[in-house]
Structure 1
């Protein structure tokens, strides 16, 4: 993996950790309690914005074709799994492990 990709992964992790920490502070919960949910949001958001084509693209193409009368060629669905998606997926998987440990009681609940 090129150094550029590793740097992008590290920057993406820093951003995801910072946003997750901010969400945890806003809701007054532990970082690992929201890590899974923010990981899901980051992963799905990155997947959505790094892919092209798909249902939304077909919908907008159909709308434009209906309004203009010009039939446009439809774009095939493509996913570009770049370093930001990999970082989000790893963050999600780490959050999943912590979430399972929390639910099973291996990590005890927070003392008030």
Structure 2
């Protein structure tokens, strides 16, 4: 249990740090880019923590074409873990800030 919380917190710290680095390199505010970074991080963590899917089918098809052996196709299966949950939380917080920026509750610049 403690290990899962540590993974969750480390994921949030890494995502926040990378987002801060990108925001400072592009000279924009952290909360302006947080939603888009959260979407990218969520897609990245879901991509690498799932099994099956389009890439697996493509590799299986290429292997079957080269060897002549037909392999059983594996369907996409999401295997959520604490890194995925942290990325989705980062995305949701970023979405809230993005909506507040668009509605001008948080003033621009």
- TM interval, short-chain normalised: over 0.9
CA distance in 2 between counterparts of 1:77 and 1:42 reads 19
SS at match of 2:108: coil
Alignment map for 1:14-93 (pairs within 5 Å): 14-93=13-92
Per-residue CA deviations over 1:53-110 (Å, capped at 9, x if unaligned) read 0111111101110111111111222111000000000000000000000001100010
After TM superposition, give the deviation of residue 36 of structure 1 in Å.
0.4
Q: How does the TM-score come out when normalised to structure 2?
A: 0.97
- Unpaired runs of 5+ in structure 2? none
CA distance in 1 between counterparts of 2:102 and 2:4 reads 34
Match of 1:11 in 2: 10
- Unpaired runs of 5+ in structure 1? none
Of 98-107 and 74-83, the range deviating more from structure 2: 74-83
SS at match of 1:52: coil
* Residues matched between the structures, number: 109
Q: Give 4+ residue runs of structure 1 displaced > 3 Å after superposition.
A: none
